[in-house]
A and B are shown apart, each in its own frame.
Chain A
Amino acid sequence: AQSVTQPDIHITVSEGASLELRCNYSYGATPYLFWYVQSPGQGLQLLLKYFSGDTLVQGIKGFEAEFKRSQSSFNLRKPSVHWSDAAEYFCAVAEDNAGNMLTFGGGTRLMVKP
């Protein structure tokens, strides 16, 4: 069975600093990979996704993620964090031909210091 690990439960960064959120997955074939963000009291919003092609994926709000097959990783990055980026971030993986079922990581809560 596939699994997703987000090793960092909480991360605190200063506004303007760079950010990297880690995501590791366990899956035999090439996965479909997603990053979602959940602002307080809200549902999940898609930031970006990877399913083929260029391994560096650009998303909304200035986020990007890089798929590294050799490391089974799909880390999320942003060069300069804004206070409005404070939220919970979820990495997820889907299998091909499995009806679009997602397996989620446990989430990383990002706090931004002024």
Chain B
Amino acid sequence: DVKVTQSSRYLVKRTGEKVFLECVQDMDHENMFWYRQDPGLGLRLIYFSYDVKMKEKGDIPEGYSVSREKKERFSLILESASTNQTSMYLCASSFPEGSETQYFGPGTRLLVL
């Protein structure tokens, strides 16, 4: 079974803090994705990566950055957390073809005070 793990289920941070969200997958997938999920808005893509050290902006990259130093690990970084970044963050991975399934981690619920 594919396994996508995320470093934390719940996080509470203060405004202005630097926040790291980690994601690890064990299926040798080329693609990895970071989404945020907000009620009524579904999932919105923040960034994705199709290879080590490669990244592409998604629909809402502002205020975020990412890092992919190893194939299995994809990190989301909030350089200076703000209250409007309070959300559920979901990581996913897949093979690159359009018909391939994305596999999701359990999510990290982030609260920025």
Contacts and interface: CB of A to CB of B under 8 A. Distances in A.
Interface stretch (A12-20, A63-71, A77-85, A94-102): A94-102
B31 interface: yes
Given A106-B42, A107-B42, A43 B106 contact: yes
B31 to A, nearest CB: 6
Contact of A99 (B50, B92, B99, B107): B50
* Secondary structure of the A contact surface, majority rule: loop
Nearest to A4: B42
B40 A100 contact: no
Interface of B: 4, 31, 33, 35, 40-45, 48, 50, 56, 58, 90, 92, 94-107
Given A4-B42, A43-B90, 14 more contacts: A32-B98, A42-B107, A44-B92, A44-B102, A49-B101, A51-B99, A52-B99, A97-B98, A99-B31, A99-B96, A100-B96, A102-B45, A104-B43, A106-B40
